[in-house]
Amino acid sequence: MSEAMIIFCTVPDADSGRRLADVLLSEKAAACVSLSAAVESHYVWQGKRETAAEVQLLIKTTAERYADVQRLILANHPYECPEIAAVSVEEISPAYLAWLKTDGQPPQG
């Protein structure tokens, strides 16, 4: 297992995703944030079944930065209870891991 993580987070629209991506990148909490095409989410909220069009964010970072990502999402997300689900990356190329660890800057050497 590597030190890399991917954090899943849904947002209501692409503009919200872009704003959150900007915060995460500006604060160096993530090296990359990918916004997916619209997804259709089905869930139960406050006892009622809901359906919503959302955008899925894939936040690429390191385990060391997870707390910063979580803090920034909670402070800047439009939802009362945003999805923040992290998975550790099982395998990763050494070059990509080096890039993640250097805040998205090209690794030295």
- Taking the C-alpha atoms of residue 21 and residue 61, their distance in angstroms, rounded to an integer, is 12
pLDDT at position 102? 85
Phi, psi (5° rounding) for residue 9?
A: -155, 125
Res. 19 pLDDT band, cuts 50 70 90: very high
pLDDT at position 53? 97
pLDDT at position 41? 96
Whole-number average pLDDT of the chain:
93
pLDDT digit string, tens, across residues 24-50: 999 999 999 999 999 999 999 999 999
DSSP-based three-state secondary structure for 87: strand
Residue listed under structure tokens 């919200």: 16
Q: What is the rounded average pLDDT of the residues 5-24?
A: 98
Contacts of 78 (CB under 8 A, 6+ apart): 11, 12, 16
CATH fit for domain 4-101, picks 3.30.70.120, 2.150.10.10, 3.40.50.150, 3.50.50.60: 3.30.70.120
pLDDT digit string, tens, across residues 55-104: 999 999 999 999 999 999 999 999 999 999 999 999 999 999 999 988 66
Domain ranges of the chain: 4-101
Q: 8 with 57: CB under 8 angstroms?
A: yes
Res. 1 pLDDT band, cuts 50 70 90: very low
The residues that bridge with 48 in the sheet, in sequence order, are 45
Length of the chain: 109
